[in-house]
A and B are shown apart, each in its own frame.
Chain A
């Protein structure tokens, strides 16, 4: 089966610019997650969706980060405006209803200059 798809794979922007990342989960997976991984650290959960509803966004910096999953399938994560400390890999993952396993995409590496 096809895995979790993410694009772009790499993005370089200047601080104060905006950026958006896209994720297409595994077909039929109801739960979708966005994680931020700063260099040298483990991934940190930003937001979790169940279908098109938000389950947990407690660690999402809502003053600059937003995410949506309007039709309950693919999702976008946006940063506006970006700061230097937002440089990281942004990982998307999905889980099926009866799965214990999260399937991760390859990530988008963001560099903010």
Chain B
């Protein structure tokens, strides 16, 4: 079973920052937080991952709370192409299979 809790859906206006929350209160010390997204009719796509420090790449930023029980994925300037289901996943090893929950359906409004 997935060890994360996410809202079922969220809306965001185009051009604004999209902030997607995730709760993972039972995360273990050796588990990373991963984010993937799945655009309609495509396979999931990796976005970002982190252990305890905040991370940023060309797609997004990941903010992890100090107690590591929750995190937020930030898409700084959302576009219509960011409409997708976003999955937050906790995972110990880089080679482990992924355990997906139902994710958050993010809808970017024009």
Quick one: which of B41, B45, B49, B94 contacts A95, CB cutoff 8 A? B94
Task: Find chain B residues with CB under 8 A from A88 CB.
Answer: none
Q: How many residues of B contact A (CB 8 A)?
A: 21
| Interface range, A side | 20 to 34
Q: Please, what's the 1-or-0 string for B89-106, where 1 marks a CB less than 8 Å from any CB in chain A? A: 000001101111111000
Residues of A near B101 (CB, < 8 A) are: 42
In whole Å, how far is B26's beta carbon from the nearest beta carbon of chain A? 18
- Interface hub of A35, A41, A42, A103 (most chain B Cβ within 10 A): A42
Interface set, chain A 35-89, CB cutoff 8 A to B: 35, 40-45, 48, 50, 55-56
Judging by beta carbons under 8 Å apart, are A100 and B49 in contact?
yes
A104-B44 contact given A41-B102, A42-B87, CB 8 Å threshold: yes
Contact A102 B98 (CB under 8 A): yes
* Known A-B contacts A41-B102, A42-B87, A42-B103; A56 and B97 likewise in contact (beta carbons under 8 Å): yes
| A-B pairs, 8 with minimum CB distance | A42-B100, A104-B43, A45-B97, A101-B46, A100-B94, A48-B97, A43-B100, A104-B44
5 A/B residue pairs, CB under 8 Å, sorted by A: A40-B102, A42-B2, A43-B44, A95-B95, A100-B94
